Amino acid sequence: MTENKKHILDFTVRQNLRLGTNYALLKLMPTGGQLPPCEPGQFAQVLVPNSKNTFLRRPISICNIDPNENLLWLLVRRAGEGTAALCDLHEGETLNVMLPLGHGFTLHRDGTTLLVGGGVGVAPLLMLGKVLKEQGMQPEFLLGARTENDLLMLDKFNELGPVHITTDDGSAGVHGVVTRHPVLTGGNMAHIACCGPMPMMRAVAALARQQGIDCEVSLENLMACGMGACLCCVEDTADAGNVCVCTEGPVFNINRLKWQI
């Protein structure tokens, strides 16, 4: 895993696509020069503009890098005042972003990788699937949501590989959570990459361990600085004790996590 140089850059909002009622896909262009190299699973710390009450940057997974258009994609879920301000940005507005941060997913070249995402956790899986396909691999996706209307960017995922779906209310795909989908128990995957709500990741990790499948998860611990200085995001690991998720992760092999042992 390479250590990418970190940058603090101003970006111009080129497009704000509203996805349902609670999500926005921001497509951002750096105001000068090219986007820095980024790896699937890394994240950015975004400064919320024009907010008197939001002082800390918001950590947002890097959803995609479009080298042809020189665009950074960030998928934002409206959860509080800070993310609401980001979701309401208009084209032409400026956003200050620090990136790329953390360490991302392992790019396996042996066997099928199943990419499992829930809610806004699908964001980093789009770039991961894209890179795997560019390297000649065939990614496969398992995406979960509360309802059919909460499934995000399905057209983009379908361009990359087979997509399996679950919804809590049964409005699309298999009725229930992602761990009820047979692809997790009857599939032929060699690796699993997972991002989403903690209960979902714990359940997926438990199934992976039972079946002896290599599995990585992207943790969403509270990150205030993104640089390992504030110690807000510490996770107790089996091999190294307490580590900062923002610098050691956010992606971890489940064998390192004490909650999975």
Question: Is residue 3 predicted with pLDDT exceeding 80?
Answer: no
pLDDT at site 1: 46
Q: Where are the domains of the chain?
A: 7-101, 112-218
Single out the residue of 122, 124, 116 nearest to residue 141, CA to CA.
116
The percentage of residues in the chain with a pLDDT greater than 90, rounded to a whole number, is 83
Average pLDDT over residues 55-61: 91
Q: How confident is the model at residue 71 (pLDDT cuts 50, 70, 90)?
A: very high
35: which DSSP letter? P
Q: Which CATH number fits domain 112-218: 3.40.50.720, 3.40.50.300, 3.40.50.80, 3.30.70.100?
A: 3.40.50.80
Which pLDDT score is estimated for 48? Answer: 93
Q: Are 150 and 20 in contact (CB under 8 A)?
A: yes
pLDDT-derived band at 51, boundaries 50, 70, 90: confident
pLDDT digit string, tens, across residues 185-232: 887 899 999 999 999 999 999 999 999 999 999 998 888 889 889 989
Which among 212, 199, 217 is positioned nearest to 256, based on CA atoms? 217
Using pLDDT thresholds of 50, 70 and 90, give the confidence band for residue 179: very high
Domain 7-101 CATH class label: mainly beta
Q: Identical fold at 7-101 and 112-218? A: no
**How many angstroms separate the Cα of 55 from the Cα of each of 48, 104, 200, 245?**
8, 26, 30, 21
Residue 30 has pLDDT above 90, yes or no: yes
